[in-house]
Structure 1
Amino acid sequence: MAPYKILYAEDDETLAFLTQDNLEQQQYAVTHCNNGNSCLEIFRKESFDICILDIMLPKMDGFELATEIRKLNSDVPIIFLSAKTLKEDRIKGLRLGADDYLVKPFSIEELLLKIEIFLKRSQKNKTEDNTFYTIGKYNFDAKNYLIFNETEKISLTQRESDLLKLFLDNKNKVLKREEILKALWGTDDYFMGRSLDVFISRLRKILINEKGISIENLHGIGFKFQLNET
């Protein structure tokens, strides 16, 4: 299973280093930003399992950042970290859609516990109906490894099905090559990478006539499943 991805916004370099180091020791994949603008740009391009946001950020504060994140994703857990202790600030943060609010200085143990709780909750909310999708003229049944419509039925291997589901759950977002490999095989081994290329080639052939759908290769980075639903 791929590590959970955390987007962490904090402009205090020392605190950011210590917190990121502790999170990575717990096997979380942490992306750190030191200002709100760059944090939002990264969130637009990648998918994350949880966001940890300082409030007093340069360029865009944590409240505004959380508001923009909620416009893009209504489900991802958000935890605010702040030196602000006023009840009004806590209430404002929760009203903006944050799941919790930790006051600095906080204990890393408490932060880790909250992360674990919210990740478990968000995983429970990903119900079984996330196994059936519509892709252009096709239906995709991820549970039974099938792409089909009224006249056609295409069987996929389990890995191909897992890959397509991963793309659809992260449509229009960049997925790094190593993230895909770890999600599908638990490793970014070279030979698994060759298999990935074969699977992507087959999915492209299946979807070649679907307008507004493509699997974009971002050289040296990974792939983006482009799906224009309009």
Structure 2
Amino acid sequence: MRRFVRENSLGLTFGLLFVLVLVGEAFAGQADFNQRQLTEGLVPVSFWRYVTSASFGADVAENWQSEYLQFFLYIFGTVWLVQKGSPESKQLDRVGRESDREQRVGAYAGADSPAWAHARGLRLWLFANSLGLVMGLLFGLSWLAQSIAGMAAFNEEQLANRQDPVSWAGYLTEPDFWNRTLQNWQSELLAVASMAVLAIYLRQRGSSQSKPVGSAHTATGVEG
């Protein structure tokens, strides 16, 4: 067990932090929601009622979809785009999908390569693009969840204000939806750009996201 925890400590730690923060968000969100309920002369809701509400669902999903969008764009973008001096970039002369030899697929797959790396045709294409495709799928699903939950929350406010509810397609044209969406997209894109550029000049000793401390600023695609 100790060896398993050590060898999987990165995923386990961030998974545990995710659960703790999500629970914290739920309690803080309920408190904030109930404050607004009392201000408006309405009855506070229970914790279970809040975490199953459209308001909580929309808040969670809008953050998830922006994170998966970031990874989706970054995974495919770094196939063709480079940043001189950044460990987040491939080496400048390796732009593109690279050769079968470089990627160790097909005839160049080794004994320790995954089974699908030995395949050809559709199976190899799917495996060779599986990370980006899954991130894109997760983005699409979380975006859909956000739009549905956001529509339900929006319509609750519409009805409370004695206004007509909107359809799902109608909600996609509402400023509320795009305000929720774009404020998350811009923050994720800024974070990616900042990491790619700052890592040229700054270091974190021992981190796989940083160049070795003594590496030249111009060293590209080198990780510690």
Question: TM-score band, normalised by the shorter chain?
Answer: under 0.3
TM-score (norm 2): 0.24
Query: Hey, which of these two has a bigger chunk of helix by percent?
Result: 2
Q: Taking CA–CA contacts closer than 8 Å with sequence separation of 6 or more, which of the two structures ends up with the larger relative contact order?
A: 2
TM-score, length basis structure 1: 0.23
The structure with more radius of gyration: 2
| Structure in which a larger fraction of residues adopt strand | 1
